[in-house]
Amino acid sequence: MILNIENLCFSYGKAPVLDSLSLSADKGEIICLLGPNGSGKTTLLDCVQGFHRSFTGSIKVCGRDVLSLSRPDLARLVSYVPQFHTPAFPYTVREVVLMGRTARSGIFGAPDREDYEICDSSIARAGIEEFAQRPYTELSGGERKLVLLARAIAQEAPLIVLDEPTSSLDFKNELMFLEMLIAFVRNEGISVLMATHALQHPLYFESDGIKTKAVMLCKGKPALTGTPGELITPKTLLEVYGVHAAVRKIETDGGKTIKSVAVFGSGSQQGESL
């Protein structure tokens, strides 16, 4: 088991955010954290990465308690793809990816030959060789996300944490990013913990044959966990988000079947039916 969270409780002051949450991820499994704004998705990611340290319960990555690990040790187990990102200096893409190797060098360390090799291999596997020498700040949002994914891959951690990775991407870039993520999960057995607002993501992963778990966080109520197909239903969406929605199977031109969600009314409106 890569990630194991047991009875996690966390509160900001007196306001509880996470209430006895238990969750686990196997090798090669994707966990999608869903839930409305303010339901604690980012808080949970911060707990897993040891940024919030005052929680009760336990979070273990590869059997090791995150609170007992030093920063470099934790970074060898958990890598992170941030949501927003504007570096102060125009580093080249390769320099950014190389930062994924930081945890492998000591306090005065710098990347060595092996680190450069792993960096270049991650760049190749993420398919971003053509802009490896360009300044990161000149790239489009979609390209940047691929660079950050390559950096997380270079970190060689068994668990990648992503915070709404596709929130600023257009359809095509979003799909490209998800495909790349799926490829790393499938080919390299990486586990993923990602917060997302797109209900489509877990359904997409599931239909692609990846072991996927959806976790629906909901303020003040226990979290709901299940496979995306079980969890993402009009009933839970009404309960958690307060919206009326339809979930349908859609057959693509390629003969694949994907579930799709359409949201059509807020819960305060009465009387509509499916």
Partner 1 sequence: MRKNKSADRLSLPVMILLFVLPLLAVFVSLFFGRYHVSLQEVFLSFVRPQSVPLASRVAVLQLRLPRAVAAAFAGASLAVSGAAFQSVFRNPLVNSGILGVSNGAGFGACVAIIFFGGGVFTYFFSFVFAVAAVLLSYFAGRISRVTTSITMVLGGTIVGAFFNALVSIMKYVADPYSQLPSITFWFMGSFASVGYTHLYALIPMGFGMILVFLSRWKLNVLSMGEKEAASLGVDVRKAQILIIGGATLCTAAAVCISGTIGWVGLVIPHIGRMIAGNSNQKLIPVSISLGAGFMVVMDLLSRTLTGSEIPIGILCALIGTPFFVYLLKKSKGGFRL
CB of 32 to partner 1, least distance (A): 20
Q: Which of 26, 120, 208, 239 binds partner 1 (CB under 8 A)?
A: 120
111 binds partner 1 (CB under 8 A): yes
DSSP 272: -
Residues 6+ apart with CB under 8 A from 21: 5, 7, 8, 9, 44, 57, 217, 222, 223
CB of 237 to partner 1, least distance (A): 31
CB of 46 to partner 1, least distance (A): 9
Cα 258-153-98 angle, rounded to 5 deg: 145
Residues 6+ apart with CB under 8 A from 141: 168, 169, 173
CB of 92 to partner 1, least distance (A): 7
Q: Which of 36, 57, 72, 234 binds partner 1 (CB under 8 A)?
A: 72
125 binds partner 1 (CB under 8 A): no
Q: Which of 14, 15, 37, 89 binds partner 1 (CB under 8 A)?
A: 89
Cα 247-253-258 angle, rounded to 5 deg: 25
79 binds partner 1 (CB under 8 A): yes
CB of 133 to partner 1, least distance (A): 6
Near partner 1 in 151-190, by CB under 8 A: 155, 161
12 binds partner 1 (CB under 8 A): no
Report which of 192, 216, 217 is spatially closest to residue 80, judged by C-alpha positions.
Answer: 192
Please state, as a whole number, how many other Cβ atoms lie within 10 Å of the Cβ of residue 248.
Answer: 10
51 binds partner 1 (CB under 8 A): yes
The secondary structure of the chain in percent helix, strand, coil, rounded to multiples of 5, reads 35, 30, 30
109 binds partner 1 (CB under 8 A): yes
CB of 157 to partner 1, least distance (A): 9
Query: How many residues contact partner 1, by CB under 8 A?
Result: 41
Which residues on neighbouring strands pair with residue 64, listed in sequence order?
61
What does the alpha-carbon distance between residue 25 and residue 170 come to, in Å, rounded to a whole number? 29
Q: Which of 26, 52, 67, 95 binds partner 1 (CB under 8 A)?
A: 95
Report which of 208, 214, 265, 259 is spatially closest to residue 242, judged by C-alpha positions.
Answer: 265
Q: How far are the Cα atoms of 5, 96, 99, 118, 131 from residue 91, in angstroms, in the given order?
A: 36, 6, 11, 18, 12
Question: Between residues 157 and 203, which has the closer beta carbon with respect to partner 1?
Answer: 157
Q: Which of 62, 67, 99, 243 binds partner 1 (CB under 8 A)?
A: 99
| Residues lying near partner 1 in the complex (CB under 8 A) | 49, 51, 70-72, 74-76, 78-80, 82, 85, 87-92, 94-95, 98-100, 102-105, 107-111, 116, 120, 123, 129, 132-133, 155, 161
